[in-house]
Amino acid sequence: MSKKISVGVSLALILASIAATFAITMAFSQSIYNKLISNISGRAEMYAAVDDINALIRNNYYFFASINNESINQSIANGYIEGLNDPNSKLLTAEEYADYTNRINGKASGIGITTAWDAQAKKLVVTSVANGSSAAAKGIKKDDIILKISGERVHAQNYEQLLAALGGDTLSTISVTCLRKDTELEFNVTVGYSYVSVTRKSIGSVGYVRITDFYANTQEQLKEAVGALQDSGAQAIVFDLRGTSNGTIEYAAAAIDCITPICSNQDEVLVELVGREGNSILSYPSTSNDVNLPMAVLVDENTAGPAELFACDLRDFGKAVLVGVKTAGVGTAQQAFTLEDGSAVILTTSKVIPYKKTPFHDVGLSPDYEVVMESVDSPELLDPADDAQLQKAISVLSK
């Protein structure tokens, strides 16, 4: 008799524990909704729907005992954000948000390499090296074989642990020994580096500037690139924004400001961010920086957001013509809202109004000279002679 009671009590305690855990899960989810839904009736409808689903699960779900509360919380929050149907609004975990913040600030973790373990050859192979990274600066190359990290030989059982030492952004120095064509090379690399979002080269008398992102350090890199091209005698400049979409409107405005002159009217600004009620949220005025050279901007269907503002303002100021195909039409700005657990919601909060006040959201920018060609992931790797859009820009500038 006592044994039956003991089992019954145990089962009751287990079920009570499951119910309590699920209740905590739902309470946590509701706290997320409270941050996202401002009107009470909207919350009531949402809670009612969640409560109905909760009841169905508790009464019918076969695997109720194996529910993963963390997974449910994440899925509920993700589902709400995805339901906005806005690709620029997203939910980031605490780790993803830290990485996002570092990127926006122009900082990167690690040494700038990706690797793969070749199980057959039993070798750790470098598969890519990031531009501007410590690995690139020190001379590590794609296809190098990593033999040692911090003096410890790499093998199948320890390579993941050793690679972890190359992560983070501590600015510490670590030795990496590589094999390249039967030659052992040792590199002292720094963990943590600044993103290089601007690169340059000369094509005859024309300077070519590739901008891949608009981060906190982009303006300084752009100033350096344009200044170096001017010093080398460039007679015109082509800015390549094909496939560029990352970054913020703020840092795009900073980049624009080192190219364009001061606005002709004191009430004019490089860009204004307008909220859903038509209120001005932020605006970015111009300074007296000015680059007096003929310019063209290369754009394509993947040129979006901050890159579109850069292209639009340069044309609005009469500084540049656009060459390529119509842009993506993403004329909104986002803001990060942190949650209690360190995660964050990135939400679209305003519309972008460029210099001449004509929004490009959902419309895109039509080029002055349309040149259709296949999209290229890394246009800077194209041979200039084979790049029809670049050649058109050079032709236009030469006239």
DSSP characters over 140-170: --TT-EEEEETTEEP-TTTHHHHHHTT-SS-
DSSP characters over 279-303: -EEEEE---S----S-EEEEE-TT-
Q: Mind listing the pLDDT tens digit for each residue in 157-174?
A: 999 999 998 987 777 899
What type of residue is 205? Answer: S
Contact 291, 265 (CB under 8 A): no
As a dihedral over the C-alpha atoms of residue 220, residue 225, residue 230, residue 234, rounded to 10 degrees, the angle is -150
DSSP characters over 69-89: HHHHHHHHHHHHHHTT--TT-
**Cβ-based burial of 115 (10 A; exposed 0-12, middle 13-18, buried ≥19):** middle
pLDDT of residue 40: 56
Residues contacting 310, CB < 8 A, separation 6+ = 211, 214, 239, 241, 252, 255, 256, 297
How many residues are listed for the chain in this entry? Answer: 399
pLDDT of residue 79: 87
**Cβ-based burial of 237 (10 A; exposed 0-12, middle 13-18, buried ≥19):** buried
- SS3 at position 178: strand
What type of residue is 1? Answer: M
pLDDT of residue 12: 46
| pLDDT by 10s per residue, the chain, length 399 | 444 444 444 444 444 454 444 444 444 455 555 555 555 566 667 677 778 888 898 889 999 888 887 888 788 888 889 989 999 999 999 999 998 999 999 988 899 999 999 999 999 999 989 888 899 999 999 999 999 999 999 999 999 999 998 987 777 899 999 999 999 999 999 998 888 899 999 999 999 999 999 999 999 999 999 999 999 999 999 999 999 999 999 999 999 999 999 988 878 999 999 999 999 999 999 988 899 999 999 999 999 999 999 999 999 999 999 999 999 999 999 999 998 889 999 999 999 999 999 999 999 999 999 999 987 767 877 889 999 999 999 999 998
Residues contacting 341, CB < 8 A, separation 6+ = 94
**Cβ-based burial of 147 (10 A; exposed 0-12, middle 13-18, buried ≥19):** middle
pLDDT of residue 43: 62
Q: Do domains 107-194 and 198-398 have the same CATH topology?
A: no
For 107-194, give the CATH class. Answer: mainly beta
**b or e along 346-358 (b: 16 or more beta carbons within 10 Å of the residue's beta carbon)?**
bbbbbbbbbbeee
**b or e along 63-86 (b: 16 or more beta carbons within 10 Å of the residue's beta carbon)?**
eeeeeeeeebbbebbeebbeeeee
152-153 vs 90-92, strand pairing mode: unpaired
Second-level CATH architecture of 198-398: Alpha-Beta Complex (3.90)
pLDDT of residue 172: 84
- The token pair at 93 is 């975990």
> Domain spans of the chain?
2-83, 107-194, 198-398
pTM beyond cutoff 0.85: no
DSSP characters over 331-373: -EEEEEEE-TTS-EEEEEEEEEEETTS---TTT----SEE---
What type of residue is 210? Answer: R
